[in-house]
Amino acid sequence: MTLFDWLEPVARLAGDLNPSWQSVRRRILNDPYYRLQSLQEVRLAAQLGCTLDVNQANVDDWLRLPGISIHQARTLVALSQAGVAFYSLDDIAAALQVPVQQLRFLEPLLDFRYYDNLEANPFGGSVPINAATAEELMQVPGISSALARAIVNQRQHAPYRHLADLQQRLGLSGQLTTDLLHYLRF
């Protein structure tokens, strides 16, 4: 279900809204490119039943949310299309390299299919991917000595910009990229 998949009860909400919000409601429901402008509009969209399946959303879906840039939307879609699964708001924040508190207000709209609580990061923090040595990278669960060397060798050409860039340049699987999500800092 995307942001525009509405349930029948949405029509009943029309009479319950303040008249000044009627036009906003119509825009949210009818304009596929309308970008929510405020926390109040996020709340209204949530009341209307709007949801965004984070693992199926396209760039236009992400751009409807306030505070999401085109670059961030493209990154999230590229990661999803490459097999990375987002299970919580923490995963989205890690992929975008932003504090989770910055995205908390979007939570009522985000639908995490097959939600699974993340275990605490046993590594105890994130590794700066563009500065860490091969030995430091090998301390990250899932990074073998061969992968650590490949990371170091590839970044000599250009620093890694984000997780999707790392995945693409090294040909990492979606599962490995998901596993590394909380361990790397760009």
Tell me what pLDDT residue 70 has: 96
Q: How far apart are CA 68 and CA 63, in angstroms?
A: 6
pLDDT of residue 32: 74
pLDDT of the residue at 122: 52
The β-bridge partners of 128 are 185
Per-residue confidence (pLDDT) for residue 113, from 0 to 100: 76
Say what the pLDDT of residue 77 is: 92
Tell me how far apart the alpha carbons of residues 179 and 123 are, in angstroms, rounded to a whole number.
12
Query: In this structure, are residues 87 and 29 in contact, taking their beta carbons and an 8 Å threshold?
Result: no
User: For residue 82, what pLDDT is reported?
Assistant: 83
pLDDT value for 123: 53
Count of C-beta atoms within a 10 Å radius of residue 145: 11
**In whole angstroms, what is the distance from residue 62 CA to residue 110 CA?**
10
* Token duo for residue 42: 């996020």
Distances (CA, A) of 69 to 15, 76, 96, 141, 149: 33, 11, 10, 31, 33
With contact defined as beta carbons under 8 Å apart, do 126 and 183 qualify? yes
The pLDDT value given to residue 116 = 43
What residues in the chain have per-residue pLDDT under 50?
1-15, 115-120
The CB-based long-range contact list for 97-103 (8 Å cut-off, 24+ gap) reads 97/162, 97/185, 97/186, 102/67, 103/67
**How far is the C-alpha of 33 from the C-alpha of 48, rounded, in Å?**
17
Q: Checking DSSP bridges between strand 110-111 and strand 52-53, what pairing results, if any?
A: parallel
Residue 124 confidence (pLDDT): 55
Buried-state track 18-31, b at ≥16 Cβ within 10 A, e below 16: eeeeeebbeebbee
For 51-66, write each residue's pLDDT tens digit.
899 988 999 999 999 9
The predicted pLDDT at position 186 comes to 86
In this prediction, residue 125 carries a pLDDT of 63
Q: Answer yes or no: are the C-beta atoms of 26 and 34 closer than 8 Å.
A: no
